[in-house]
Amino acid sequence: MALEGRSTTSVLRTVVHDTTHGLHLTSEARTVIEDVHVTSTSGVGIAIRTGVNPLVRKAWIVTRRGAASR
Protein backbone atom coordinates (compact mmCIF):
# COMPACT_ATOMS: atom_id res chain seq x y z
CA MET A 1 0.00 0.00 0.00
CA ALA A 2 1.61 3.28 -1.10
CA LEU A 3 0.70 6.62 0.49
CA GLU A 4 2.24 9.30 -1.70
CA GLY A 5 2.21 12.96 -2.67
CA ARG A 6 0.53 15.45 -0.38
CA SER A 7 -2.32 13.20 0.68
CA THR A 8 -3.47 13.33 4.29
CA THR A 9 -4.46 9.72 4.77
CA SER A 10 -5.52 7.58 7.71
CA VAL A 11 -5.21 3.81 7.52
CA LEU A 12 -7.21 2.24 10.35
CA ARG A 13 -7.97 -1.38 11.29
CA THR A 14 -6.33 -2.82 8.17
CA VAL A 15 -4.50 -6.05 7.34
CA VAL A 16 -1.81 -6.04 4.62
CA HIS A 17 -0.39 -9.47 3.77
CA ASP A 18 1.42 -11.56 1.17
CA THR A 19 3.06 -8.63 -0.64
CA THR A 20 6.59 -7.49 -1.40
CA HIS A 21 6.35 -4.46 0.93
CA GLY A 22 3.59 -3.70 3.43
CA LEU A 23 3.30 0.11 3.55
CA HIS A 24 5.36 2.61 1.56
CA LEU A 25 5.06 6.13 2.96
CA THR A 26 6.26 9.09 0.90
CA SER A 27 3.42 11.52 1.63
CA GLU A 28 4.50 15.00 2.72
CA ALA A 29 1.26 15.45 4.65
CA ARG A 30 0.52 13.90 8.05
CA THR A 31 -0.30 10.20 7.64
CA VAL A 32 -1.92 8.18 10.44
CA ILE A 33 -1.37 4.41 10.65
CA GLU A 34 -3.38 2.82 13.47
CA ASP A 35 -4.27 -0.77 14.38
CA VAL A 36 -2.60 -2.13 11.23
CA HIS A 37 -1.27 -5.68 10.83
CA VAL A 38 1.43 -6.26 8.19
CA THR A 39 2.27 -9.94 7.71
CA SER A 40 4.02 -12.25 5.26
CA THR A 41 5.94 -9.63 3.29
CA SER A 42 9.16 -10.57 1.54
CA GLY A 43 10.49 -7.02 1.93
CA VAL A 44 10.07 -4.18 4.40
CA GLY A 45 6.97 -4.02 6.62
CA ILE A 46 6.78 -0.20 6.63
CA ALA A 47 9.09 1.96 4.48
CA ILE A 48 9.20 5.58 5.68
CA ARG A 49 11.05 7.97 3.38
CA THR A 50 13.02 11.07 4.36
CA GLY A 51 10.82 14.04 5.25
CA VAL A 52 7.80 11.89 6.13
CA ASN A 53 6.41 12.28 9.66
CA PRO A 54 3.69 9.65 10.18
CA LEU A 55 1.82 8.89 13.38
CA VAL A 56 2.02 5.11 13.88
CA ARG A 57 0.03 3.49 16.70
CA LYS A 58 -0.65 -0.18 17.38
CA ALA A 59 1.13 -1.57 14.31
CA TRP A 60 2.01 -5.27 14.21
CA ILE A 61 4.64 -6.25 11.66
CA VAL A 62 5.75 -9.81 10.90
CA THR A 63 7.84 -10.27 7.74
CA ARG A 64 9.35 -13.33 6.09
CA ARG A 65 12.80 -11.95 5.25
CA GLY A 66 12.73 -8.15 5.33
CA ALA A 67 13.05 -5.59 8.09
CA ALA A 68 10.07 -4.38 10.11
CA SER A 69 10.73 -0.77 9.10
CA ARG A 70 13.24 1.20 7.11
Tens digit of pLDDT for each residue in 14-64? 999 998 889 999 878 788 999 999 998 888 889 888 888 899 999 999 876
HSE-CB at 46 with a 13 A cutoff on CA atoms is 22
Q: Is 62 helix (H, G, I), strand (E, B) or coil?
A: strand
First and final CA of the chain: distance in angstroms? 15
On whether the CB atoms of residues 3 and 30 are closer than 8 A, the answer is: no
- Higher-confidence position of 33 and 65: 33
Q: Delimit the domains of the chain by residue range.
A: 2-63
How high is the pLDDT of residue 68? 62
What DSSP character marks residue 69?
B
How high is the pLDDT of residue 70? 60
* Dihedral, 55, 59, 63, 69 alpha carbons, nearest 10: 20
- Higher-confidence position of 6 and 69: 6
